[in-house]
Structure 1
């Protein structure tokens, strides 16, 4: 009974975070420190730092995996899955509504001109994310070279299949520098393969099912599951892959719709990966209201599930794995390649916009506000929307 009460309180705390955590993974983790370490003492500060570090080296949404891993530590897989649902549902619901609303406005031939300012603002957000990530992870000449090669490669070869290749190549390149990492005494690693087999098996199953049926919801599930399985670095790094696949490659969304959705997700609390619900809803607009709900649902399941399977798999033997120098060394290249793709994403997202003075100034102005002030992202987006309605 005591355990059940504790689990209920924990899930209530997760809901509080889901409704108040603005600002991306770094801000989310800061709030976790305040609520789950300082106030509730679910785990120690060192435990939270370590869990967050583990989630940063795994593909998938960092803050989502971190809060899910905390649930796993407290109550095992069942509580962890409930934690995932409580954390993602508010943001996913809001972004699903945003996607359906956008589709409805267009079907009624209603103007979406009120979004004209937040589209270049979205480019400013991505540009700032690129700078922020680069400053954090680019510390050597090798990382600079990988960043540049990744940026050039992702610009020249605009295929969703290029991104995982660039990430894996970056990690493999710096893995050769493992001798520069300190040697730690290692214990024998005991690996439980169940969740890895679940992750890989589902990957193969939906890919095969999508290839056979060609049914759009199944193909969407495969697209997002693949993205969630291969993206390192959080929501900002996911953006270039989504833009390439759903705007340039498959043309399910226009560039304007994508930019509007990305700007809107900055004003929504919770995980940035909830943006996928918006994309899923718009990708299924031809199937009516029910189809859009289904699109948002499969997109959300696809993007969140692989990271959950992987954190369940790795957390059981992380203590031993983190002592291997080659694992530590590969992170430099993975992070550098991811940073290069975010920088290119800002360029690709600006290209379809009219390159007039207004859009250029709004992009630069948004970047400057984010870089030199502490104005919260939701306030910036609301100002942009308000200006669009008025003007």
Structure 2
């Protein structure tokens, strides 16, 4: 076996290890990447890793998955990048799809069995509030950005349509791009040369899926288009996925209830790998009427739809990123896009709380979860496990 093939095999094995052990959100994931990809294996330098991370955070889609694929692209080109993508997302996708099937089975066959989840549903809101607070503290640094947060929160709450979100993101980006003169100026050594193939691929799949869905009304095609469209619009990481999916699949299409949605989101916080794998839970529930085959199909379709746009975009941009990042309006637009994403996240926390009973227990569970995340080092999986055990204990004693 050649040295190159051994190196590729080791890279994929490292990605599999990360997919099974990467608990704790993006900060912990980045620390694991630096340790394994930079210090242990020397696949790339730490400077290259941070630059790729910044690029992925600027693009729509799942940033951790894009980062894994981008490193694979640098190490072994597109083929290794696509293999790394599959190795990274498959374990979490299968876990969340299985969780959806199990929860639905319990709902249908064992009345009251889901009482174990009565505490992790409000706990999920605590996770979202914590994510919103962390995101805002990191991304909102100016008065203009805070105003955008408030405006987008108001609009997202009162006009919670999946078609409003892309308009808000575009408006936010445009509103701050006009301040491009505040950005440092870089010398442009060479003209910007763009290879459009992956952009055409991204747009072509979007148009084709939308057209086929409208013509055939075939639910798997429609489901793929729904997730592909959402995956093309989401900036800011997995937590920003929540308002999109809740609005489309709970409010508009009623494919799952608010309680089921919250239960799935809470479970996703205790699963290693990409947080976007929560989409597989929603996709599996969206095809529950087709039985176990429907659950598996829905989970895989959702994963393909939500992950592919970000991968097409990172492959498109990474080829000319060194030139693009020198354009100040591009960097300035990110402030508005990030601020709008934060506003959507705040609105999502309130919209998810609305269906819950506003009793003291639920409020204490939300606040308690937030405090554990904010003031202790207890990991997310352990917090979720504690909530499940508490629910089982209370259900057994009552």
Q: Which TM-score tier does this pair reach, normalised by the shorter chain?
A: over 0.9
Map Cα deviations across residues 14-71 of structure 1 (whole Å, 9 max, x no partner). 0110011012222211210111011111000100000000000000001110011000
2:256 counterpart SS class: coil
Kindly indicate whether residue 373 of structure 2 is the aligned counterpart of residue 373 of structure 1: no
Partner residue of 1:121?
123
Partner residue of 1:24?
25
Matches within 5 A, 1:220-239: 220-239=223-242
Map Cα deviations across residues 354-383 of structure 1 (whole Å, 9 max, x no partner). 000000111011111111111100000000
Partner residue of 2:274?
271
2:141 counterpart SS class: coil
| Deviation for aligned residue 1:110 | 3.2
2:43 counterpart SS class: coil
Partner residue of 1:387?
390
1:77 counterpart SS class: helix
Partner residue of 1:330?
333
Q: Which of 190, 200, 205 pairs up with 1:202? A: 205
In structure 2, what is the Cα distance between the partners aligned to 1:240 and 1:132?
17
In structure 2, what is the Cα distance between the partners aligned to 1:221 and 1:64?
18
Map Cα deviations across residues 186-234 of structure 1 (whole Å, 9 max, x no partner). 1211111111000000000000000011111111100000010010011
| Deviation for aligned residue 1:288 | 1.0
Kindly indicate whether residue 3 of structure 2 is the aligned counterpart of residue 2 of structure 1: yes
Partner residue of 2:92?
91
Partner residue of 2:49?
48
In structure 1, what is the Cα distance between the partners aligned to 2:111 and 2:166?
39
Partner residue of 1:142?
144
Partner residue of 1:157?
159
Q: Which runs of 4+ in 1 moved over 4 A?
A: none
In structure 1, what is the Cα distance between the partners aligned to 2:29 and 2:170?
27
Kindly indicate whether residue 278 of structure 2 is the aligned counterpart of residue 289 of structure 1: no
In structure 2, what is the Cα distance between the partners aligned to 1:115 and 1:42?
42
1:159 counterpart SS class: coil
| Deviation for aligned residue 1:109 | 4.0
Aligned positions, number: 391
In terms of mean alpha carbon deviation, does 26-35 or 255-264 score higher?
26-35
- What value does the CA root-mean-square deviation take over the aligned residues? 0.7
| Deviation for aligned residue 1:291 | 1.1
Map Cα deviations across residues 291-341 of structure 1 (whole Å, 9 max, x no partner). 111111100000000100000000000000000000010010010000111
Give the TM-score normalised by the residue count of structure 1: 0.99
Partner residue of 2:263?
260
In structure 1, what is the Cα distance between the partners aligned to 2:283 and 2:116?
22
Map Cα deviations across residues 122-181 of structure 1 (whole Å, 9 max, x no partner). 000000000000000110000000000010010010101111111111111000000111
